[in-house]
């Protein structure tokens, strides 16, 4: 599919640095507010935000017919509900508005004065969507094999893993936007040297490097979404950090799976990169070497070539990049995830969030969690400041970044970054 807004030859009169995640070919959607203005929908270009309320006030959306009051809400949900033709038309109109061969600083200054262009430094980013429900999958075969081998060396992958996208339902209320600090969780766990469980703060706080998609169109209870139709239901993607307390998780997860080890906090990037913007970066997914049932079969390139990285930054110290991975490693595609999720008639809603599960590659430096990178604490990582990490410590900041790059165009997600605070008394 070729979209005019994706043309790699496009340039903008708004200044965009060479390595920016947000060139004119991206134009992701988010929600922001300033010290003097209420929350509004915005679109990112370089280091500026186009205020869509002001954009409409200038009559730039006059001939695109949808409820313009959706632009002044505190989430994208109502705008998303206007439908894919509207999302595409708005993105295309913004692209047309921004096109220019040379940077025009005087025009930028005038639109800043008029409130149409907002410098990112003057804006606070909010959670982009209200999330009715959240599901986390387990779609990386490398991650599943690594974790399985730690606990089941003779049988790392359970018999069902190559036949269906494994997942669990998580807690939507504790998903926050990048930049939100959180407190180390407490819970019950059983140390290896103890015969009985204890209660305390987690000793094994971990990140999980994931990508998540946001539903743009739901389905009714009793119906299902096919793999062929799945992408018509997806609005866009965000970076996702599925924060985990491994010691709490390993004690509680039998027989029903993750609970308190996962639901204390998760975080997403502030900007939703549309599925449209990612079309040029399609790639084939890994070979599925076990015959899968017809409802999970797909055609064409279903994965996306998106570079991922994770850095750990202790207080007052430079960050250390500890992981470099890629979404192309995912064994189960987003179309297969959504098709499996709904095959039993499960209904979905606009704003639902579906995360990929930890994305690991074959090489050690591509493992997407501390559980794997430090191999359950037996092989500590050394940071630039010479300190070691088996898991994440208080006052560490974990930073995840993602971008796709092709034909001189870089489509990025910004980052999802969170500071770990000590547990509350």
Predicted local distance difference test score (pLDDT) of residue 153:
86
For strands 353-355 and 134-137, give the pairing.
parallel
Looking at 3.40.50.300, 3.90.850.10, 2.40.50.140, 1.10.760.10, the CATH number of the domain 134-421 comes to 3.90.850.10
pLDDT attached to residue 35: 94
| Average of per-residue pLDDT across 191-209 | 96
Long-range contacts of 381-388 (CB under 8 A, 24+ apart): 381/320, 381/322, 383/312, 383/314, 383/317, 383/320, 383/322, 384/317, 384/318, 384/319, 384/320, 385/314, 385/317, 385/318, 385/320, 387/314
Rounded Cα distance between 310 and 401, Å, is 7
Report the pLDDT value the prediction gives residue 1, as an integer from 0 to 100: 56
Query: Residue 299 — pLDDT band, cuts 50, 70, 90?
Result: very high
DSSP 8-state assignment for residue 208: B
The pLDDT of residue 377 is: 95
Residues catalogued as catalytic: 143
- Mean pLDDT score, 30-45: 97
- The predicted model gives 339-346 an average pLDDT of 98
3-state helix/strand/coil string of 62-92: CCCCCCHHHHHCCCCHHHHCCCHHHHHHHHH
β-pairing verdict for 182-183 and 409-421: parallel
What is residue 154's predicted lDDT score, i.e. its pLDDT? 85
Domain ranges of the chain: 4-126, 134-421
Q: What is the pTM of this model?
A: 0.97
Q: What fold characterizes domain 4-126?
A: SH3 type barrels. (2.30.30)
Q: What is the pLDDT of residue 425?
A: 86
Q: Is residue 110 scored above 80 in pLDDT?
A: yes
Q: Are 134 and 355 in contact (CB under 8 A)?
A: yes
Inform me whether the pLDDT recorded for 173 exceeds 90.
Answer: yes
- Using CA atoms, how far apart are residues 346 and 359, in angstroms rounded to an integer? 26
Confidence (pLDDT) at 85: 97
Instruction: Summarize the confidence of residues 394-413 as an average pLDDT.
Output: 98
Q: Hey, what are 193's tokens? A: 């040297």
Q: How far apart are CA 67 and CA 236, in angstroms?
A: 21
């Amino acid at each position: 599919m070729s979209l005019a807004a994706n043309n790699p030859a496009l340039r903008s009169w708004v200044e965009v640095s060479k390595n920016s995640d947000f060139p004119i070919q991206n134009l992701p959607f988010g929600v922001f507010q300033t010290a003097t203005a209420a929350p509004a929908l915005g679109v990112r270009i370089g280091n500026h935000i186009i205020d869509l309320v002001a954009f409409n006030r200038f009559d730039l959306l006059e001939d695109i017919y949808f409820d313009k009051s959706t632009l002044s809400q505190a989430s994208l949900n109502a705008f998303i509900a206007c439908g894919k033709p509207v999302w595409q038309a708005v993105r295309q109109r913004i692209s047309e508005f921004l096109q220019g061969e040379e940077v025009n600083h005087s025009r930028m200054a005038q639109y800043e004065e008029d409130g149409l262009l907002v410098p990112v430094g003057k804006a606070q980013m909010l959670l982009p969507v209200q999330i009715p429900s959240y599901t986390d999958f387990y779609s990386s075969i490398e991650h599943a094999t690594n974790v399985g081998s730690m606990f089941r060396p003779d049988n790392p992958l359970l018999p069902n893993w190559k036949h269906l996208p494994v997942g669990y339902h998580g807690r939507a209320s504790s998903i926050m936007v990048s930049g939100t600090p959180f407190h180390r969780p407490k819970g019950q766990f059983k140390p290896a040297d103890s015969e009985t469980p204890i209660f305390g703060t987690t000793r094994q706080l971990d990140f999980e490097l994931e990508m998540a998609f946001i539903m743009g169109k739901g389905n009714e209870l009793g119906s299902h979404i096919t793999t062929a139709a799945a992408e018509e239901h997806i609005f866009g993607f965000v970076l996702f950090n599925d924060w985990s307390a491994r010691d709490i998780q390993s004690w509680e997860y039998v027989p029903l799976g993750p609970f308190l080890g996962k639901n204390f906090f998760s975080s997403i990037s502030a900007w939703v990169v549309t599925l449209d913007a990612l079309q040029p970066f399609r790639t084939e997914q890994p070979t599925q070497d076990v015959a899968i049932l017809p409802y999970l079969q797909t055609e064409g390139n279903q994965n996306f070539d998106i570079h991922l990285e994770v850095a750990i930054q202790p207080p007052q110290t430079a960050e250390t990049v500890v992981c470099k991975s890629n979404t192309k490693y995912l064994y189960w595609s987003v179309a297969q995830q959504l098709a499996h999720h709904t095959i039993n008639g499960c209904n979905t809603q606009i704003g639902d969030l579906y995360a990929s599960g930890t994305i690991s590659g074959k090489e050690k430096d591509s493992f997407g969690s501390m559980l794997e990178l430090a191999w359950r604490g037996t092989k500590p990582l050394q940071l630039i400041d010479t300190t070691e990490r088996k898991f994440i410590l208080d006052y560490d900041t974990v930073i995840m970044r993602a971008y796709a790059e092709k034909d001189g165009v870089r489509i990025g997600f910004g980052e999802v970054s969170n500071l770990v605070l000590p547990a509350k008394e």
